């Protein structure tokens, strides 16, 4: 039995011993609509997600109504207001509505405990978002694609495979195979031990309090967190501004939610056309895993960008990634190409 599995057994034992669910936390109230200089309307929307509501922004194009739509979500601990509006706006300029949502426990969405990363629950959030968008009269939900970045890229692939009726999927800097290790350097066994102790401590504390024990999501090399890396920490600081709801924290028990989660397995039967946007220099989402996924799937196309994992959210890589994705989405959502067709190389 692996050490993670042992930890999960301990966690379940503690929970079954009397730990109840945390007090529910509601989503934040929706804010008024915003219209930008190009006539793109941004609607703040709440939709049912588990026992609470998730928060989404619907970017509605000025030139097409109802428009086909792409459902979008972030990666590990990310929120909808960090970098994603840039991509959503580019898609809306192309005539495609974009629905960007926060996972439960994060940002403006409800859910307790706060800052809990659980890929299985996040897959349920993707399903709920897809169902909501398909039923939304403000968009053409019969023509729908998914877009995810980093951990969200793997989740988007898995969600598309599970749904079976998605027209196209974009996975940007995606973490597609959890069995393939990245090249980033981590502190080793002491770091792993600290993570496990923090996770167990959080679970024990949950017997007495609804407030989770937090650890940083990203920390510099002389600190402690889920990701410990100077370059990643510098990129995070440059991307996150004071007006966002992003918190550089995750509930320590999050380390126990990933056992058996692997997008490469969950998305093995994906039928929709796939665009993979990846970098050979990505130290956190290995390029080799992305290429292997593309090689296994005849409906997948791989495009390369430069830089490391977080560089794709800033110029010039952000522009290239957005342009590639917009062209791909237009082809499969606006021209009516069949989902079974293999994307042409460009």
Tokens of 79: 């929120």
Mean confidence (pLDDT) of the chain: 90
Does residue 318 fall inside a structural domain?
A: yes
What pLDDT digit, counting tens, does each position of 168-181 carry? 999 999 999 999 98
36-56 mean pLDDT: 95
Does residue 221 fall inside a structural domain?
A: no
For the chain, list the strands marked E by DSSP: 34-35, 41-49, 52-60, 67-73, 97-101, 139-149, 168-172, 214-215, 218-219, 227-228, 250-251, 274-278, 300-304
Q: What pLDDT does 339 receive?
A: 47
CATH at residue 170: 3.40.50.1820
CA atoms within 13 A on the CB side of 231: 13
What pLDDT digit, counting tens, does each position of 258-305 carry? 989 999 999 999 999 999 999 999 999 999 999 999 999 999 999 999
Does residue 127 fall inside a structural domain?
A: yes
Local structure of 156: helix, strand or coil: helix
Distance CA 199, CA 113 (A): 14
Give the global pTM: 0.90
Determine contact, residues 207/253, Cβ cutoff 8 Å: no
Tokens of 238: 């440059």
Distance CA 139, CA 71 (A): 11
Q: What pLDDT does 189 receive?
A: 80
What pLDDT digit, counting tens, does each position of 187-237 carry? 678 888 999 999 999 999 999 988 999 999 999 999 999 999 999 999 888
Does residue 140 fall inside a structural domain?
A: yes
Does residue 1 fall inside a structural domain?
A: no
61: containing domain: 10-190+273-333
Other CB atoms within 10 Å distance of the CB of residue 340: 9
Does residue 26 fall inside a structural domain?
A: yes
What pLDDT digit, counting tens, does each position of 59-96 carry? 999 986 799 999 999 999 999 999 999 999 999 999 99
Does residue 131 fall inside a structural domain?
A: yes
Distance CA 103, CA 120 (A): 11
- Cα angle at 183 between 178 and 184, to 5 degrees? 100
Other CB atoms within 10 Å distance of the CB of residue 62: 15
In the chain, % helix, strand, coil (3-state, to 5) comes to: 35, 20, 45
Which of 121, 332, 82, 28 has its CA nearest to residue 218?
82
Q: Which of 3-7, 114-118, 280-284 has the lowest mean pLDDT?
A: 3-7
Count structural domains, the chain.
1
Tokens of 71: 């459902």
Q: What pLDDT does 328 receive?
A: 98
Does residue 105 fall inside a structural domain?
A: yes
Angle between helices 317-333 and 84-93 (to 10 degrees): 40
How sure is the predictor about 24, in pLDDT bands with cuts at 50, 70 and 90?
confident
């Amino acid at each position: 039995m692996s050490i993670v599995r042992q930890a999960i057994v301990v966690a379940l034992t503690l929970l079954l011993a009397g730990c109840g669910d945390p007090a529910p936390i509601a989503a934040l109230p929706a804010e008024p609509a915003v219209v930008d200089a190009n006539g793109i309307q941004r609607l703040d929307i709440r939709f049912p997600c588990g026992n609470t509501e998730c928060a989404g922004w619907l970017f509605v194009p000025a030139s097409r109504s109802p428009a086909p739509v792409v459902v979008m979500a972030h990666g590990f601990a990310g929120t909808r207001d960090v970098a994603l509006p840039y991509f959503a706006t580019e898609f809306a300029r192309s005539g495609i509505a974009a629905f960007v949502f926060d996972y439960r426990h994060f940002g403006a969405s409800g859910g307790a405990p706060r800052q809990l990363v659980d890929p299985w629950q996040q897959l349920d959030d993707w399903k709920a978002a897809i169902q909501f968008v398909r039923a939304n009269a403000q968009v053409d939900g019969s023509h729908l694609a998914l877009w995810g970045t980093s951990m969200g890229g793997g989740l988007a692939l898995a969600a598309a495979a599970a749904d079976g009726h998605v027209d196209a999927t974009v996975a940007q800097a995606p973490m597609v195979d959890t069995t393939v290790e990245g090249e980033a350097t981590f502190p080793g066994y002491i770091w792993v031990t600290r993570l496990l102790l923090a996770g167990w401590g959080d679970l024990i504390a949950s017997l007495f309090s609804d407030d989770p024990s937090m650890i940083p999501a990203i920390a510099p090399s002389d600190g402690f967190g889920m990701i410990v890396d100077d370059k990643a920490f510098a990129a995070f600081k440059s991307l996150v501004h004071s007006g966002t709801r992003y918190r550089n924290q995750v509930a320590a028990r999050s380390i126990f939610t990933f056992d058996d989660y692997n997008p490469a397995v969950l998305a093995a039967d994906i039928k929709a056309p796939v665009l993979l946007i990846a970098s050979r220099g990505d130290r956190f989402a290995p390029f080799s895993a992305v290429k292997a996924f593309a090689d296994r799937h005849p409906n997948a196309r791989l495009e390369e960008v430069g830089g490391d994992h977080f560089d794709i959210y800033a110029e010039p890589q952000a522009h290239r990634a957005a342009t590639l994705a917009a062209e791909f989405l237009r082809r499969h959502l606006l021209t009516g190409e069949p989902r079974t067709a293999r994307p042409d190389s460009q």
